[in-house]
Amino acid sequence: MAKKVMFLAFAMLVLVAMPVFAQPAAGGAAPSTDLGGGLKYLGLALGMGIASGLCALGQGKATAGATEAMARNPGNTAAIRTALIIGLALIESLALYMFVIVLRG
Amino acid sequence: MHEHEPWLTALFNDHLAGVANSILGIFKITAENPERPWATWLVMELLVAAIIVVLFAALRPRLSVDNPGGLQHLFESLHDFIKTTVQETGIEHPDKFLPYFGAVFIFILFMNLIGIIPTFESPTMSASVTLGLALCTFIYYNGWGFREHGPTYLAQLLGPVLWLSPLMVIIEIISHLARPLSLTIRLYANMLAGEQVTTAFEGVVALLVPVIFMGLHVFVAFLQAYIFTLLSMVYVRGAVSHEH
């Protein structure tokens, strides 16, 4: 029964997503022969996505390690929390380097 | 491109344009727009410096051993916080370095926080400001390295083992140059991202949602000031420590 519900939900999602295929027609109304310009934005978007995704993976692992350590030894929660915040900020800055490139063009 | 200037920058540009042009003229630089030479980040940075000077001028007469007031408690806890952080980083004699770290922390914190106030803008949103701070740290830790070790400070670049030196020198030089770069971009990008995100959300829902992002900006302001100071301490420790 659960499998049927999942299949129906997936089918509905795909149906709802159909209008996506209409976009090239709308966007093609003003065709741009400048492939280079378009590729730049594609590159920026992909780069930012990859940077954010990998940053999220790293921060997830950091948080997981920190919470597990805090659960095993609640006594030094403060020290673990400090190390966690520093680690998160440093990992965050790596995704921000990509953001700077995106903002710059 | 003329963007909307904060009122303070417009004030400076209207009345003090001549001062800025003559100071720039000493260095043979002409401003991009000589009629409005004051940059927003410079005006805001001077404002923050003035605020800090006034704050400490107000603090000094109120210092007393027997009857400390609230302001004294605040700055004593700040002093202890920085001293403990320096000791945790592993520096043996923290008192020599406390003035610089305290100054950097307070300055960056105030600069980050002034962006929250509606008509002001964080000077750390400009790469010029953060680059200046990062270069101060760079000169500071290298200066202390030379002071502690003399010219043999450069022997650190050779790495642990002698036959690896040619490779290690290249890697060490690149990593030393990457430090001010990463300090610059980290602070600049965090502040810029905070402001852009708040502006973007103000375009969507102008009423209450940006408050969440301004709260996040306050948290990030404290965090980034702390991270900058902490990394400066780590670099100073690396330069100053006598190992083996």
pLDDT tens-digit map of A5-24: 777 766 666 555 444 444 44
Domain ranges of chain B: 6-38, 46-240
Buried-exposed string B54-67: b where 16+ CB fall within 10 A, e elsewhere: eeeeeeeeeeeeee
Identify the pLDDT of residue B111: 94
Burial of A48 (0-12, 13-18, 19+ CB in 10 A): middle
**What is d(CA B192, CA B182) in angstroms, rounded to the nearest whole number?**
15
Identify the pLDDT of residue B16: 77
Whether residues A85 and B193 touch (CB distance < 8 A) is answered with: no
* pLDDT mean over B193-222: 84
Whether A31 has a pLDDT exceeding 60, the answer reads: no
The count of CB pairs under 8 A between chains A and B is: 29
Identify the pLDDT of residue B12: 77
Identify the pLDDT of residue A64: 97
Measure in Å the smallest separation between the Cα of B231 and chain A Cα atoms.
Answer: 10
* pLDDT mean over B73-85: 90
Q: How confident is the model at residue A25 (pLDDT cuts 50, 70, 90)?
A: very low
Q: Which tokens belong to B4?
A: 């909307």
Whether residues B190 and A96 touch (CB distance < 8 A) is answered with: yes
Identify the pLDDT of residue A73: 94
Measure in Å the smallest separation between the Cα of A97 and chain B Cα atoms.
Answer: 7
Share of chain A above pLDDT 90, in %: 42
Q: Does A96 touch chain B (CB under 8 A)?
A: yes
Residues 6+ apart with CB under 8 A from B36: B5, B13, B17
Identify the pLDDT of residue B81: 92
Q: How confident is the model at residue B142 (pLDDT cuts 50, 70, 90)?
A: very high
pLDDT tens-digit map of A35-59: 767 889 999 999 999 999 999 999 9
- Name the least confident of A7-16, B78-87, B112-121: A7-16
Measure in Å the smallest separation between the Cα of A45 and chain B Cα atoms.
Answer: 16
Taking alpha carbons only, the member of B145, A30, A62 closest to residue B155 is B145
C-beta neighbour count of B240 within 10 angstroms: 20
Whether B119 has a pLDDT exceeding 60, the answer reads: yes
Identify the pLDDT of residue B133: 94
Helices (H), ranges, chain A: 2-16, 23-27, 35-72, 77-103
Residues 6+ apart with CB under 8 A from B48: B107, B110, B111, B114, B123
Whether residues A99 and B193 touch (CB distance < 8 A) is answered with: yes
Which residue ranges form the domains of chain A, and what is each CATH number? 35-105 (1.20.20.10)
Whether residues A100 and B182 touch (CB distance < 8 A) is answered with: no
Identify the pLDDT of residue B72: 86
ipTM: 0.73
pLDDT tens-digit map of B5-44: 677 777 777 777 777 777 777 877 777 777 777 888 888 9
Identify the pLDDT of residue B22: 79
